């Protein structure tokens, strides 16, 4: 979807551009003009081969800026849409998790079945085990995060579950990865924001505190999902992996729904409309846009842009759900946002983290 949008917006630019890189100055001492952070790579428009003619810089910047804005809006709308659907319809929490993953698996399976159907038969036992581990973690992540939206604010739940990158850094510490002092300082600031948010909710509502803790657990599980998925993605294509992972996640959620007595069907029309909106906005548009941007922008920049989900969700919840929070909670949100940004920037210094950045960054959850 994102690739189609990029192709359509860059189409005329591709026709009128030169295959040569632009230069600054004249003569032997001239130097090449470096692409900006939003510049498209040639392969992103020509289908990945890199043999086509690259579009002009202004087309590249505008397309990537558009996709980045679309991606942020998509993932930031996840929390408010889920909260609105749960509050106004009879849809259950696990039904949202089940259908967004089942539909996501079907959509991702289509291109693979058309182009390379034999890829599914080549999945090894190791790839299947890591995909299954990622699917179980993703299912539990959705169960915790979506349930938390029924108990605490959208802004708090989104910020706490977005600690995924912080938890990954913590897991890497236990695995012997040495982080710079910037990463450690960022972790301290981000988790200080967690204490601030949960502290305010502890004093206001035990229900909100329970929602906060579920959101924190959802963030931990998102980190586990990302690391397990990264192992599987070392040798698996994106289409095969996401189809397998989303499909098994939907199956695990179905088992959880059966055990807890939550219905997966039989909802009113507005409930199905809410499920469709959540799936399209967050699952298909948001994460697809970011996955495409990883092929045209640095993983570091993409990771920083994704963090805009935190203030984005808070703004959308305030505008459309009338959600207001204490000043201390907003301060906690800011601490988490800044802390995670410092973690992402600090990880650039780690060669071990840098080697796996592209693989981990393309795995989204919310």
User: What pLDDT is stored for residue 180 in this prediction?
Assistant: 86
List the domain range (segments joined by +) for residue 218. 66-361
Contact 218, 141 (CB under 8 A): yes
107 within a domain of the structure (yes/no):
yes
125 within a domain of the structure (yes/no):
yes
User: What pLDDT is stored for residue 290 in this prediction?
Assistant: 81
Strand duo 23-24 + 31-32: pairing: antiparallel
Residue 71's CB is within 10 A of a number of other CB atoms, namely 26
User: What pLDDT is stored for residue 86 in this prediction?
Assistant: 97
Q: Given a cut of 50, is residue 92 above it in pLDDT? A: yes
344 within a domain of the structure (yes/no):
yes
Contact 343, 183 (CB under 8 A): yes
Helices (H), 77-124: 78-88, 93-115
Average pLDDT of the residues of the chain: 81
CA atoms 50, 55, 58, 60: torsion sign: negative
99 within a domain of the structure (yes/no):
yes
What is the domain count for the chain?
1
What is the average pLDDT across 107-124? 91
Nearest alpha-carbon partner for 278 in 133, 104, 120, 158: 104
pTM of the full predicted structure? 0.78
1 within a domain of the structure (yes/no):
no
pLDDT band at 292 (very low <50, low <70, confident <90, very high): confident
201 within a domain of the structure (yes/no):
yes
353 within a domain of the structure (yes/no):
yes
150 within a domain of the structure (yes/no):
yes
Poorest-pLDDT segment among 2-16, 220-234, 260-274, 300-314: 2-16
Q: Given a cut of 90, is residue 99 above it in pLDDT? A: yes
């Amino acid at each position: 979807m994102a690739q189609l949008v990029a192709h359509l917006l860059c189409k005329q630019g591709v026709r009128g551009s030169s295959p040569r890189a632009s230069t600054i100055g004249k003569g032997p001492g001239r130097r090449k003009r470096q692409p900006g952070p939003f510049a498209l790579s040639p392969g992103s428009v020509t289908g990945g081969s890199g043999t086509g003619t690259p579009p002009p810089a202004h087309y590249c910047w505008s397309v990537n800026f558009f996709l980045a804005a679309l991606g942020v809006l998509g993932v930031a709308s996840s929390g408010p849409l889920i909260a609105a659907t749960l509050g106004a319809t009879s849809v259950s929490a696990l039904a949202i998790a089940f259908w967004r993953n089942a539909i996501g698996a079907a959509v991702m399976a289509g291109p693979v079945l058309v182009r390379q159907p034999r890829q599914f038969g080549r999945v090894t036992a190791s790839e299947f085990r890591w995909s299954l581990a990622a699917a179980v973690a993703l299912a539990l992540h959705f169960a915790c995060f979506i349930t938390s939206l029924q108990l605490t604010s959208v802004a708090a739940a989104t910020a706490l579950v977005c600690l995924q990158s912080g938890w990954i850094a913590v897991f890497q510490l236990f695995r012997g990865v040495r982080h710079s002092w910037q990463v450690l300082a960022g972790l301290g600031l981000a988790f200080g924001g967690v204490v601030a948010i949960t502290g305010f909710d502890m004093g206001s509502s035990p229900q909100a505190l329970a929602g906060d803790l579920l959101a924190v657990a959802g963030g931990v599980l998102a980190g586990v999902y990302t690391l397990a998925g990264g192992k599987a993605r070392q040798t698996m294509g994106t289409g095969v992996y996401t189809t397998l992972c989303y499909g098994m996640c939907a199956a695990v959620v179905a088992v959880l729904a059966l055990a807890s007595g939550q219905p997966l069907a039989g909802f009113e029309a507005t409930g199905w409309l809410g499920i469709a909106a959540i799936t399209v906005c967050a699952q298909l548009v948001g994460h697809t846009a970011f996955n495409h941007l990883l092929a045209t922008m640095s993983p570091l920049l993409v990771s920083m842009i994704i963090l805009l989900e935190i203030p984005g969700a808070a703004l959308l919840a305030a505008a459309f759900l009338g959600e207001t929070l204490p000043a201390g909670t907003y301060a906690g949100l800011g601490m988490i946002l800044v802390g995670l940004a410092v973690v992402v920037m600090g990880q650039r210094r780690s060669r071990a983290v840098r080697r796996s950045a592209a693989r981990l960054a393309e795995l989204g959850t919310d």
